[in-house]
């Protein structure tokens, strides 16, 4: 109870700073929209576009405008969703070292400005996706609703399943990209891309949760390491990576280059995940696991694109 009161008082104090906060800078805007997340998701969205062109044997020149609209729309929707996430989480962000300097948490950006920015970016992004295809807009809307309303507003503060449900939102960009070229989504490829991204996210974010477990505990966020401990978390991470490896190999039709890369990256990450059961320094291992997850995702999707060039 005392922690809750303290959190409320801290939040109220921060909110009073809004009226005297200095004007926003371009860096504040980039921080609020979480450009790192935007860029990483654009990679997966572009891969969806590229593979759709490859498998349907169509040229990029025939889809210039749908591709431009889908990439711009995806980036804007994600930026809008991240802004709304910052608006909603500005109270608990103040309690975590990783997030306490966000402009929305410090009061440098007023809450109403963050909310307005999130709404404008989201709606503009959905309009751009609609210009690409109705299917792209539909999945963009689904991803936005899952991330903002189901994950951020509800499950993040109430249940450790938040990581799994939130993974749905992070897994739709490849489908959105594919839908700009082939709105029917009849091919299994976009759904495999979805599953790869869905399975990748829990071990990625659980590694971060282990590394920042005390911050999540202080903020009252029921991440799995907080409510169940490190050992159960490690085992769940292993399960996700173990399922991810064969799932990624189902795209063997991309050829030897991709298949070899997927096998090496996948089994390497799986070995690192299993090593977590035997390490004496779990926090250090979680840092390595987190970085490895970022490298895995980036290199795997690059391998998908490169493999189509040979």
Determine which helix (DSSP H) or strand (DSSP E) holds 20, and give its type and residue range.
none
Question: Domain tally for the chain?
Answer: 2
Q: Give the per-residue pLDDT at 129.
A: 98
Q: Give the per-residue pLDDT at 111.
A: 93
Whether residues 258 and 151 share a domain: the answer is no
Rounded CA separation 164/6 (Å): 30
Whether residues 213 and 119 share a domain: the answer is no
The structure tokens listed for 33 are 């929209």
pLDDT value at 16 more than 70 = no
**Structure confidence by residue, pLDDT tens digits, 31-75:** 999 999 999 999 999 999 999 999 999 999 999 999 999 999 999
**φ, ψ at 69 (rounded to 5°):** -65, -40
Q: Give the per-residue pLDDT at 285.
A: 98
Q: Give the per-residue pLDDT at 286.
A: 98
Whether residues 219 and 138 share a domain: the answer is no
Whether residues 160 and 295 share a domain: the answer is no
Whether residues 104 and 220 share a domain: the answer is no
Domain ends where: 163, 186, 209? 186
Mean predicted confidence (pLDDT) in 173-202: 98
Rounded CA separation 143/128 (Å): 15
Q: Give the per-residue pLDDT at 25.
A: 86
What's the CATH code of the domain at 55?
Answer: 1.10.357.140
Give percent of the chain with pLDDT exceeding 70.
Answer: 92
User: Between the CA of residue 156 and those of 164, 170, 211, 249, what are the distances in Å?
Assistant: 10, 15, 17, 32
Mean predicted confidence (pLDDT) in 105-119: 95
Q: Give the per-residue pLDDT at 153.
A: 96
Whether residues 223 and 246 share a domain: the answer is yes
Which one, of 187, 211, 206, 222, lies nearest residue 285 by Cα? 211
**Structure confidence by residue, pLDDT tens digits, 226-262:** 999 999 999 999 999 999 999 999 999 999 999 999 9
Domain ends where: 186, 208, 234? 186
For 18-44, letters b (16+ CB in 10 Å) and e give: beebeebeeebbebbbbeeebebbbbb
With contact defined as beta carbons under 8 Å apart, do 146 and 169 qualify?
Answer: yes
**Structure confidence by residue, pLDDT tens digits, 114-168:** 999 999 999 999 999 999 999 999 999 999 999 999 999 999 999 999 999 999 9
Whether residues 148 and 121 share a domain: the answer is yes
**Structure confidence by residue, pLDDT tens digits, 204-215:** 999 999 999 999
Whether residues 273 and 209 share a domain: the answer is yes
Whether residues 171 and 196 share a domain: the answer is no
Query: In the structure, what pLDDT confidence band is assigned to residue 11 with cuts at 50, 70 and 90?
Result: very low
Q: What is the mean pLDDT of the chain?
A: 93
Q: Give the per-residue pLDDT at 177.
A: 98
Whether residues 249 and 268 share a domain: the answer is yes
pLDDT value at 192 more than 80 = yes
pLDDT value at 7 more than 80 = no
Whether residues 75 and 137 share a domain: the answer is yes
Whether residues 168 and 229 share a domain: the answer is no
Rounded CA separation 206/283 (Å): 11
Query: In the structure, what pLDDT confidence band is assigned to residue 91 with cuts at 50, 70 and 90?
Result: very high
Q: Give the per-residue pLDDT at 23.
A: 58
Q: Give the per-residue pLDDT at 13.
A: 44
Rounded CA separation 286/53 (Å): 37
Which one, of 306, 58, 22, 76, lies nearest residue 178 by Cα? 58
Domain ends where: 186, 214, 237? 186
CB-based contacts of 183, cutoff 8 Å, min separation 6: 133, 134, 135, 136
**Structure confidence by residue, pLDDT tens digits, 256-310:** 999 999 999 999 999 999 999 999 999 999 999 999 999 999 999 999 999 999 9
Structure pTM?
0.91
Domain limits for position 267 = 188-310
């Amino acid at each position: 109870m005392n922690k809750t009161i303290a959190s409320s008082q801290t939040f109220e104090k921060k909110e009073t700073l809004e009226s005297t906060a200095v004007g926003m800078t371009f860096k504040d805007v980039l921080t609020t929209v979480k450009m790192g997340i935007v860029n990483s998701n654009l990679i997966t969205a572009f891969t969806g576009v590229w593979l759709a062109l490859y498998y349907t044997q169509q040229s990029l020149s025939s889809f210039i405008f749908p591709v431009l609209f889908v990439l711009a729309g995806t980036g804007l929707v994600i930026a809008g969703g991240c802004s709304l996430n910052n608006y909603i989480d500005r109270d608990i962000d103040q309690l975590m070292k990783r997030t306490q300097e966000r402009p929305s948490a410090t009061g440098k950006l007023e809450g109403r400005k963050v909310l307005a920015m999130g709404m404008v970016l989201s709606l503009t992004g959905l309009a751009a996706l609609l210009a690409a295809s109705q299917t792209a807009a539909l999945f963009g809307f689904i991803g936005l609703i899952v991330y903002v309303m189901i994950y951020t507003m509800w499950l993040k503060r109430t249940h450790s399943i938040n990581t799994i449900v939130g993974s749905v939102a992070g897994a739709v960009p490849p489908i959105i990209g594919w839908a700009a070229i082939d709105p029917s989504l009849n091919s299994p490829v976009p759904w495999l891309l979805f599953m790869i991204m869905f399975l990748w996210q829990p071990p990625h974010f659980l590694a971060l949760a282990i590394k920042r477990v005390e911050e999540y505990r202080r903020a009252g966020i029921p991440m799995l390491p907080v409510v169940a401990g490190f050992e159960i978390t490690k085992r769940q991470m292993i399960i996700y990576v173990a399922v991810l490896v064969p799932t990624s190999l189902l795209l063997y039709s991309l050829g030897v280059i991709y298949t070899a890369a997927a096998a090496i990256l996948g089994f390497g990450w799986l070995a690192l995940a299993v090593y977590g059961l035997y390490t004496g320094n779990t926090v250090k291992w979680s840092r390595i696991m987190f970085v490895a997850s970022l490298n895995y995702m980036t290199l795997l999707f690059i391998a998908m694109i490169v493999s189509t060039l040979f």
